[in-house]
Amino acid sequence: MQLTLKNILPTYFEQSRKQNSGIWGKDLHFSNGDFIKIVAPSGTGKTSLIHFLYRMRIDFEGSIFYDNKPLKHFTNEEIANLRKNQLSVVLQDMRLFG
């Protein structure tokens, strides 16, 4: 699987955020097996990015592609399969488990 981000920016961020970001406003490509670690200060959009990748939110500019297919063209079933089989998220908050 290949993940491509093209000029992504949350609609609630100013365009100037693109200047100092490693993700916002960039064209990025990630391939199957890549390990991606995102570390950034609070309020910079880490959770928003995960929500965009999972299509839990769509309030962004730009495009997200999985294997060259635009995320906005995925059916709900395809999104569910993507989440189940291809895309994993490890959350920081360890209070998820007793």
Q: What is the pLDDT of residue 72?
A: 93
Laid out side by side, the sheet with 60-66 consists of 27-31, 2-10, 60-66, 69-70
Q: Kindly list the domain boundaries of the chain, sorted by start residue.
A: 2-96
pTM: 0.84
Task: Count CB neighbours of 50 within 10 A.
Answer: 15
Structure confidence at residue 45 as a pLDDT band (50, 70, 90): very high
Return the CATH superfamily for domain 2-96: P-loop containing nucleotide triphosphate hydrolases (3.40.50.300)
pLDDT in tens, 25-37: 999 999 988 888 8
- Residues paired with residue 27 on neighbouring β-strands, in sequence order: 6
Q: How confident is the model at residue 16 (pLDDT cuts 50, 70, 90)?
A: very high
